Structure 1
């Protein structure tokens, strides 16, 4: 297999923002896409920033604090400006090397490892244009490049469509929660909106507002039992999802709890409340919950998801959640028939989301397979 030196196919581009012609400032994620820059540009001379145009690559040469990845992306939108410390290059001849094919090469985990290995410096490490030019890769025929790019983009587009569907399902769930438990327009026994059709409302002193007749105010602990997650370091790899505050961390070979549950972070990103329907293991910096009453979990999940817990600070620089705080939370408790109907409606949405997310997991694996095949292409 013949590998080619990348420097023979690309050319560095150095264009500064003279006259402040461009004002769209972008950063580059280590997940290989452009994003809004975090830099405060008030009072900053934007003429010193570099300009990136369509189909140009931008990368952050500093790798010291970038984990195990290198931040590089292919510009597909309008021209923008980027940090003066970034480097920009473009393909010399797109009839020989397809930019989207090259981006696929950069998305390979093997490239990230290579870039970190080739980074140099003492206090700060850099992977600069010289090192980028020394990258070697297979350059098959343009037709072959376009074929594999088409396959990869088809998978990527399907993943994006699925993500959009999940976002719409989530928006539907939030709207339904508001309609039922904020506006009190849940369907009555005749299928009509409760409040607007004359459903009886009574004043509640604890909440200082009217609530539907028959509803109560209680404690979160009336509906659920809060349990601590457990350490996972003794577990082996498997197919059981392992949850942390950021979501799934990996997969293990044992089950901590095998029924639906609401997962609540104990530290860090406290607002990342999760509703889980399949068997799981949660880490010891998470709480998981066991329902005391049927059909309450998805209601509890929605109540907690609407709250802002990140402002909590119990004597520590890191926001922390406690069982005492959770158990003492006041919560509106609807009648059982309303909870049962809401649980039925929302679980249909959740089941659909699970199906889509499972599909996306398989599609992501297919993406990885396509990327791994690049190394075996004939040059």
Structure 2
């Protein structure tokens, strides 16, 4: 999907190099895994929630709720898929060549335990990314007003006084 065809929304759009924008409709239910197919072949990205993968990607969604998706993410990352990509004017990942790669899979219990811990880390990472986006938006809205003088900060606390005092 071209950027011009996207409608403003809260659904992340993924290309071969990760998230490339937002849209108002999902193509796949999250969480899921997006793998770069053309342009940046073999780049593996975790999609935290419902998402829209564009045509330069492959994507993986769970068939059931057995919780193996985080393990699969790291297994795909370890495959070094970019090395399987065909060289051409626009490098690409051939799914059939990628399928030839072998992966050692531990016992189901080990995979489930790994996925449990990895899911918690993914959740924490997602929350921090959301917080960072929110703070960046607030900064971008407030900074021009502070610089122009339209808005002033009139209070200083003891901690900021101590820091300011060091530079006076």
The residue that corresponds to 1:267 in the other structure is: 38
Q: 1:313 to 1:272 in 2, by over 3 A?
A: closer
Provide TM-score, normalisation by structure 2: 0.77
The residue that corresponds to 2:18 in the other structure is: 247
The residue that corresponds to 2:145 in the other structure is: 373
Question: Within the alignment, does 1:280 sit opposite 2:48 as a pair?
Answer: no
Q: 1:358 to 1:315 in 2, by over 3 A?
A: closer
Of the structure 1 ranges 367-376 and 283-292, higher mean CA displacement relative to structure 2 is found in 367-376
Write 1 or 2 for the structure with the bigger share of strand: 1
Q: Tell me, in whole angstroms, the C-alpha distance in 2 between the residues paired with 1:246 and 1:371.
A: 30
Residue segments in structure 1 that go unaligned for 5+ positions in a row: 1-230
Query: Where does 1:1-379 land on structure 2 (aligned, <5 Å)?
Result: 231=1, 234-292=5-63, 294-314=66-86, 316-373=88-145, 376-377=148-149
Q: Tell me, in whole angstroms, the C-alpha distance in 1 between the residues paired with 2:85 and 2:28.
A: 29
Provide TM-score, normalisation by structure 1: 0.36
Residue segments in structure 2 that go unaligned for 5+ positions in a row: 151-168
CA contact (8 A) 1:310 1:319 kept: no
Aligned length: 148
1:254-309 Cα distance to aligned partner (Å, 9 max, x none): 01112211110002323431111211111110111123462221111111212333
Q: 1:309 to 1:326 in 2, by over 3 A?
A: closer
**DSSP-derived class of the 2:84 partner:** coil
1:138-183 Cα distance to aligned partner (Å, 9 max, x none): xxxxxxxxxxxxxxxxxxxxxxxxxxxxxxxxxxxxxxxxxxxxxx
CA contact (8 A) 2:28 2:61 kept: no
CA contact (8 A) 1:312 1:319 kept: no
Q: Tell me, in whole angstroms, the C-alpha distance in 1 between the residues paired with 2:145 and 2:17.
A: 30
CA radius of gyration, larger in: 1
CA contact (8 A) 2:34 2:45 kept: yes
Q: Tell me, in whole angstroms, the C-alpha distance in 2 between the residues paired with 1:295 and 1:239.
A: 25
